[in-house]
């Protein structure tokens, strides 16, 4: 007679332990693949075709200003919204705190536009700074890496959502470049039907310089304005901060009809910064407590103890 097997309580415990072990291993593999995959190929970064729905939905919302029925062109990335955001920035008081406090405040934010990291922002800032330091780059550049995304604090200062804080930037006030990711999502943005804003030069003159164009409002533009009067960072560092999300320009070569000689010079700095920002996302997470004394020392060299944000 074939022996029949009955499952005992002890068997169930063993099975459950085995399942737990498998899950632990699966999680380790997941972590290794998603957060510090040292072997991630450069071509695998910024793969927006393969990006998850969260990223696609983010850009659709940011670019597509039409929101029926209460339609207003001050919504989403338009000229009207941009002017309003800049006026708000200049006229409103937000917070007073140190650079390190700002980094800690950001710790809860997970960037919806980013297909390459799901780590918190303090981790991303430290990874960027550490990669720059490892390459023996100057202190001011390490600091630029450490602070470059602090503009995402806008999220705590009455932003409309993530669409006016994160994501790549582009010029508003002239034709939306087809070098912007998901260019088709601009079809319902009212500026793409505006008789002036939809033309090659729009409100700008040939080679007027990036200082004179309005970049879409977000963490880069905001932080540049915060730091330009409250730090001793050199011009290159300020350019790295201001243009690091301007991929249509620094990676795709768009907007050369608007740039001038000064921009050609700063482009080199922005390009030198980009690999540290992007590819350090697959490095192992940093030990925040261990690195803190070193970076607080650097912060003290370039910033006052408290800043107006
Ligand atoms: O999703 C990312 C993220 O928001 C970055 O902070 C920004 O600099 C990049 O340009 C963007 O693509
Ligand atoms: Fe950024
Ligand atoms: Fe970044």
Give, for all 309 residues of the chain, the pLDDT tens digit: 444 456 677 776 776 566 556 544 544 443 444 444 556 788 889 999 999 999 998 998 999 865 544 445 556 899 999 999 999 999 999 999 999 999 999 988 889 999 988 888 999 999 999 999 999 999 999 999 999 999 999 999 989 899 999 999 999 999 999 999 999 999 989 999 999 999 999 999 999 999 999 999 999 999 999 999 999 999 999 999 999 999 999 999 999 999 999 999 999 999 999 999 998 998 888 999 999 999 999 999 999 999 999
Give the residue whose CA is nearest to atom 8 of ligand 1: 245
Give the residue whose CA is nearest to atom 10 of ligand 1: 245
Report the binding-site residues.
Answer: 46, 111-113, 124, 148-149, 152, 167-168, 219, 244-245, 277
Q: Among residues 225, 250, 249, 251, which one has the least CA distance to residue 238?
A: 225
pTM of the predicted protein model? 0.85
Question: Of ligand 1's atoms, which has the minimum distance to the CA of residue 181?
Answer: 12
From start to end of the chain, where are the E strands?
A: 96-97, 171-172, 214-215, 307-308
117 CB near ligand 1 (under 6 Å):
no
**What's the CA angle centered on 98, arms 92 and 130, to 5 degrees?**
120
> What six digits make up the tokens of 214?
């309005």
Whole-number Å distance, alpha carbon 301 to ligand 1 midpoint, is 27
Report the binding-site residues for substrate.
Answer: 46, 111-113, 152, 167-168, 244-245
Pocket test for ligand 1, best of 113, 240, 274 (most atoms within 8 A of CB): 113
Whole-number Å distance, alpha carbon 196 to ligand 2 midpoint, is 30
CA atoms of 137 and 123, how far apart (whole Å)? 20
- Alpha-carbon torsion (216, 60, 248, 179), positive or negative: negative
């Amino acid at each position: 007679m074939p022996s029949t097997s009955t499952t005992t309580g002890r068997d169930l415990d063993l099975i459950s332990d085995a399942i737990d072990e498998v899950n632990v291993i699966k999680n380790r593999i997941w972590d290794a693949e998603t957060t510090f995959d040292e072997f991630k190929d450069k071509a695998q970064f910024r793969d927006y075709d393969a990006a998850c729905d969260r990223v696609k939905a983010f850009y659709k919302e940011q670019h597509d200003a039409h929101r029926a029925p209460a339609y207003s062109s001050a919504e989403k990335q338009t000229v009207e919204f941009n002017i309003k955001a800049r006026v708000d920035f200049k006229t409103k008081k937000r917070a007073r705190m140190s650079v390190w406090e700002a980094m800690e405040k950001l710790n809860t934010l997970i960037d919806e536009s980013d297909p390459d990291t799901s780590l918190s922002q303090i981790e991303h800032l430290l990874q960027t700074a550490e990669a720059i330091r490892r390459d023996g780059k100057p202190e001011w550049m390490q600091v630029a890496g450490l602070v470059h995304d602090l503009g995402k604090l806008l999220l705590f200062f009455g932003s409309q959502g993530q669409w006016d804080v994160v994501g790549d930037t582009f010029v508003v006030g002239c034709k939306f470049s087809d070098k912007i990711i998901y260019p088709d999502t601009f079809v319902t943005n009212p500026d793409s039907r505006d008789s002036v804003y939809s033309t090659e030069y729009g409100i700008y003159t040939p080679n007027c310089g990036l200082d004179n164009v309005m970049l879409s409002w977000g963490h880069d533009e905001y932080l540049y304005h915060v730091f330009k009067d409250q730090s001793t960072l050199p011009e290159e560092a300020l350019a790295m901060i201001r243009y690091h999300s301007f991929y249509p320009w620094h990676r795709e070569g768009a907007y050369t009809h608007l740039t001038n000689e000064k921009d050609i010079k700063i482009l080199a700095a922005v390009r030198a910064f980009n690999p540290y920002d992007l590819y350090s996302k697959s490095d192992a997470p940093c030990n925040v407590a261990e690195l803190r004394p070193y970076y607080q020392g650097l912060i003290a060299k370039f910033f006052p103890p408290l800043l107006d944000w």
